[in-house]
Chain A
Amino acid sequence: MQDVFIVGAAECDLGVTTKSILELQSQAVTRALADAGLTTQDVDGIATNGISRFSATQLADYLGIVPSFTDSSFAGGSSFEIYVARAVEALRSGQCSTVVISFASNQRSAKSRSLGGVVEHHTPEAQFETPYGPLFPLSYYAMAAQRYLHEVPHGRAALSEVAISAREWALLNPVAFRYGTKSLTPADIEGADLISSPLTTADCCLVTDGGGAIVLTTKLVDKKRGVKIIGYGEATTNTSMTSVDDLMVTGAVESGKRAFAMAGITPQDIDVVEVYDSFTITVLLTLEALGFAPRGGAADLLLSGKTRPGGSFPLNTSGGGLSYCHPGQYGILLLVEAVRQLRGECGERQVPHARHALAHGTGGIISTHATVILEKVS
């Protein structure tokens, strides 16, 4: 099978930008293409969402290109890891030659986020869940966390360590939203306002503008910066808050298994781990599901301190959605950071000798799961 590489990766402006979605998209796309030594005229594949009802079509029109491959699948924060799988298959089949996967949001500037989420009145969830008044998606993650605390000693301390560790990485990343602030303590997390118990405001990701793009192709020109896609897997589990039987077991079990089987490596071979941290609990459940720890064991992994800078289990090295950037759908930025770590471009937060990186997206209410495994071309 033909190898597929990520040859370009970039962020758009992050934080509070006062820019439109399409201006931020243009930044992400042109910067990622420049990083790859390409231009919009080389692009014949587009995968994006969150712009409008016809997102990929909208972006193609705005960029002035006529793609032979598009994908606007809407699966929340994991969409971009899902697009990697679709793009690899389209590139291998010859449907297209250069794919840009991108996302941008101006949600902080536009104040477009609400605690109740978007209620679609015709859905079963609107009929059987909305009447009770759950926060969406927060209350579902909160119930997962409550179950975790019920089963796992030191669970609360481990949730806090997810946020503390992310902040330590963000303090090394000049473009992180929390760069230049201070380290966190357990009291900072646990003493913050409860929103949906046991989760406090400090267990929740940021609400920022931002986004990014990556460029995929079968042609690797610059071998020194080459990153190869060696595995991917997906699993989609639920829209209802009641469909998943065991809140401790997520779809990442299956998506991870599929990705590792394709890559022919095991969790022990991964040098850098970038997993979706919409909430602190998301990280513990995902690490366990992917096989980095047994059920309940991610608490011990976190509390060992190994996930912080300099530790033996580098986790969410950008600072994550908790302390770096969370533009509503964070999945594209997991991939951008994974690529940069493998290329050795991460300055103070660089993980030495990183050869394999894993990016795992989680969308909706722990609903959509997609794992991508990347390898440095040596």
Chain B
Amino acid sequence: MSFPYLPIEDAVSAAFWEGTRIQELLLQSCNLCSKYQHYPRALCSHCGGTDLEWQKVSGQGIIDSWTEVMRAPQEGFEAPYIIARVRLAEGPIMLTRIDGSSTKISCDQPVVLRWQPLSDGRALPLFVPVGG
């Protein structure tokens, strides 16, 4: 799998990307309403509160839905590959990839976190089927 697009982080998201360097998946949790969110924001998208802290999460989830991409969106990507919405155990949904065969995955299947190193030392969270 190739990952040619290096994300441009900002002050709000820097902690997320720092976590990926040591393979920790960090999500913001709200000290006002106790809910988690992803992607990172400068406020809580559930209640509008601004007192947020970073929490390491379990890396457990289920596939909400998925698609096998057969044509690359831009140069550097190597199709086919599987894009998915994974519903994390803590609540938020992440866009990610599933490392596995399209014949062996389905909606509502449990998955677990894996890390894909990027060329600059950061890493992208991916998921694999549990037991796969």
- Identify the A interface with B (CB < 8 A): 114-117, 119, 121-122, 124, 126-136, 139, 142-144, 146-147, 150, 193-199, 240-243, 245, 247
Nearest residue in A to B96 (C-beta to C-beta)?
A132
Among residues of B, the one whose C-beta sits closest to the C-beta of A129 is B95
Is A195 a contact partner of B8 (Cβ separation < 8 A)?
Answer: no
Cβ–Cβ < 8 Å partners of B39 in chain A: 124, 127-128, 240, 242
Give bound CA distance, A131 to B7, whole Å. 7
Contact A197 B7 (CB under 8 A): no
- Which residue of chain B has its CB nearest to the CB of A134? B83
- Nearest A-chain residue to B17, judged by Cβ: A127
Please judge, given known A-B contacts A126-B8, A131-B3, whether A146 and B74 are in contact too, CB under 8 Å: no
Is the beta-carbon distance between B7 and A196 smaller than 8 angstroms? no
Chain A residue contacts of B102, Cβ below 8 A: 197
Contact with A along B81-105 (1 / 0, CB 8 A): 1011100000011111100001000
Q: Judging by beta carbons under 8 Å apart, are B83 and A242 in contact?
A: no
CA of A170 to CA of B97, assembled, Å: 38
Determine which residue in A117, A196, A240 has the highest number of CB atoms from chain B within 10 A of its CB, and name it: A196
Asked if B124 and A132 make an inter-chain contact with CB atoms under 8 angstroms apart, the answer reads: yes
- Given contacts A134-B83, A242-B85, A197 and B67 within 8 Å (CB-CB): yes
* Also in contact, A242 and B73, with CB within 8 A (given A127-B9, A150-B106): no
Q: How far is the CA of A245 from the CA of B46 in the complex (A)?
A: 13
CB-nearest residue of chain A to B106: A150
**What are 24 A-B pairs with beta-carbon distances under 8 A?**
A115-B74, A116-B74, A124-B41, A128-B38, A128-B94, A129-B95, A131-B3, A132-B83, A132-B124, A133-B3, A133-B69, A133-B74, A136-B73, A146-B66, A150-B106, A194-B68, A194-B70, A195-B69, A195-B71, A196-B69, A197-B68, A199-B67, A242-B93, A247-B64
Q: Which residue of B lies closest to A144 (CB)?
A: B65
Q: Which of B40, B81, B92 contacts A133 (CB 8 A)?
A: B81
Q: List the A side residues contacting B95 at CB < 8 Å.
A: 128-129, 132, 134, 240-242
Contact B85 A241 (CB under 8 A): yes
Given contacts A150-B106, A242-B93, contact A130 B67 (CB under 8 A): no
Are A196 and B68 touching (Cβ within 8 A)? yes
* Secondary structure call for the B interface: loop
Complex contacts, A198 vs chain B, CB 8 Å: 67
Q: How far is the CA of A127 from the CA of B124 in the complex (A)?
A: 11
Q: A146-B65, A147-B65 are in contact. Are A133 and B73 (CB under 8 A)?
A: yes
The interface residues of chain A lying within 8 Å CB-to-CB of B10 are 122, 127
Q: In whole angstroms, how far apart are the Cα atoms of A119 and B76 in the complex? A: 15
Question: Does B32 sit within 8 A of A, measured CB to CB?
Answer: no
The chain B residue with its CB closest to the CB of A128 is: B39
Residue from the list A119, A143, A199, A242 in contact with B38, Cβ < 8 A: A242
Q: Which residues of B contact A133 (CB under 8 A)?
A: 3, 5, 69, 72-74, 77, 81, 83, 97
Interface centre among B72, B95, B124, by most chain A C-beta atoms within 10 angstroms, is B95
Contact between B85 and A116, CB atoms less than 8 A apart: no
Q: How far is the CB of A295 from chain B (nearest CB, A)?
A: 15
Is B47 in the interface zone, CB < 8 Å from A? no
CB-CB < 8 A to B72: which residues of A?
115, 133
Residues of the B chain whose Cβ atoms lie less than 8 Å from the Cβ of A132: 3, 83, 95-97, 124
List which B1-16 residues lie within 8 A (CB) of chain A: 3, 5-10, 13
Contact across chains for A122 and B8 when beta carbons are under 8 A apart: yes
Tell me, rounded to whole Å, the shortest Cβ–Cβ distance linking B18 to chain A. Answer: 14
Within the complex, the shortest CB–CB distance from A60 to chain B, in Å, comes to 36
The answer to whether residues A115 and B93 also contact, given A130-B5, A146-B107 and a CB cut-off of 8 A, is no
Q: Among the listed B64, B73, B107, which residue makes an inter-chain contact with A135, where contact means beta carbons less than 8 Å apart?
A: B73
Closest residue of chain B to A136 (Cβ to Cβ) is: B73
Q: Knowing that A131-B3, A197-B67 are A-B contacts, what are 6 other residue pairs whose CB atoms are under 8 Å apart, sorted by A's residue number?
A: A131-B124, A133-B97, A144-B65, A146-B65, A194-B68, A195-B69
Whether B74 pairs with A143 at a CB distance below 8 angstroms is no
B41, chain A: closest CB distance, angstroms: 8
Rounded to whole angstroms, the CA-CA distance of A114 and B92 in the bound complex is 30
Give the shortest distance, in Å, between B118 (CB) and chain A (any CB): 8
Q: What residues of A have a CB within 8 angstroms of the CB of B3 in the complex?
A: 131-133
Is the C-beta of B53 less than 8 angstroms from some C-beta in chain A? no
Contacts of A143 in B (CB 8 A): 64-67, 83-85
Residues of B contacting A136 with CB < 8 Å? Answer: 73
